[in-house]
Amino acid sequence: MKETGVALIMVLLVTSLLSTLALGLAVMVSTTQLAEGHFGETMAMLYAAEAGVELAAHDLAQSADWDLVLSGSESGTITDGPATGVRNIPAGGRVSLSIETNQLNCGKASSCTVAQMNANSRERPWGENNARWQLFEYGSVPSLNAFARPGPWYLLVWVADDSRETDGNPLADGAAADHRGRGILRVRAEVYGASGARRAIEAELARSCRSDGGADVCQPGIRVQSWQELRQLIP
């Protein structure tokens, strides 16, 4: 009986066993590396959203009339066309500016009616003073010079009137200089990444103004008086 080749079979068996072990480990390590990479990327996306709030604060500090901002007549320095339509996310995928804005204003993808935006709910409990989110800054992060290490994401920053006001006009920042909520805006920054990754921050920005002969005299700069990450509240 010829036994030539037994060694080959043994070697093949041992090699395949060791290869399986090594392959299993390699898959596990690469999966973890991928998970860590995604985690690191979403952390960077959070900081990009925070940078969006800072950019909005900078532009709002330059704005003389926040009513124009709330009505959508004035936008920030970072825009890439009309505040409607669909944009490509550099990392892959697309984001619809209109749908995202409508979702915030009435929870629907289609256009919102005034009645829908004024409807009370747990998420929007202020009736006719409910926030009317307006896109203020929006653009592909790699195209923005403001970022030192831009990632392949898309940034959206909305502004809206704060919930303190009772003037019934969410498109105006308080009726008078001494009106409750005058000089306070809400800002929401969201960053969209690959595979549906999103990070969002909502902040309240305030400027310190006093009435002088009916006109606002404001101190320079903007104060962030509230800051919150919206991890559980992203639709």
Partner 1 sequence: MTLRPCGGFSLVELLVALVVCALLTGAVAGLLSPARAAFEATPAALDLHQRARAGLDLLTTVVRSAGANVGAADGLGALANLVPVVMPLPSPEGNLADGEFGAVWVMSVAPDAAQGRLDRDQPGPAGALTLAPSPACPQVSDVCGFKPGDFVAIVDPLGRFEVLAIASTNAAGKQLSPAAALTQAYPAGSLAVEAEINRFALAVQPDGSRSLVRVTSAGATQPIVDGVSRAGFVPWGEAAAPELRWDGASGWASYGPSPLAPTLVDPQGEFPPGDTCVATYNGLVPRTRLASVGERGTLVPFARSDLDDGPWCSAAVDGGRYDADLFRLRRLDVWLRVEVLSATLRGPAGYLFNRSGSARAPIKWVPDLTVRVSVALRNAT
233 binds partner 1 (CB under 8 A): yes
Closest distance of CB 12 from partner 1, Å: 13
- Report the distance separating Cα 51 and Cα 138, nearest Å: 12
Q: Residue 84 is encoded by which pair of tokens?
A: 């409607």
Cα distances (Å, whole numbers) of residue 148 to 39, 59, 89, 151, 213: 20, 19, 19, 10, 44
Q: Which of residues 37-76 bind partner 1 (CB under 8 A)?
A: 39
Helices first, then strands: H and E counts in the chain? 4, 9
Out of 12, 35, 176, 234, the residue judged to bind partner 1 by CB under 8 A: 35
> Are the C-beta atoms of 83 and 75 separated by less than 8 Å?
yes
Which parts of 147-186 interact with partner 1 (CB under 8 A)?
162-166, 180-181
Q: How many residues bind partner 1 (CB under 8 A)?
A: 40
Q: What binding mask, one character per residue, do residues 95-134 give for partner 1 by CB under 8 A, x or -?
A: -------------------------xxxxxxxx-------
DSSP output for 163-210: TT--SS-TTSS-SSTTSTTTTEEEEEEEEE-GGG-EEEEEEEEE--EE
Query: Would you count residue 221 as binding partner 1 (CB under 8 A)?
Result: no
74 vs 136, beta carbon nearer partner 1: 136
Provide the binding-site residues for partner 1, judged by CB under 8 A.
10, 14, 17-18, 21-22, 24-25, 28-29, 32, 35-36, 39, 120-127, 162-166, 180-181, 202, 204, 224-231, 233
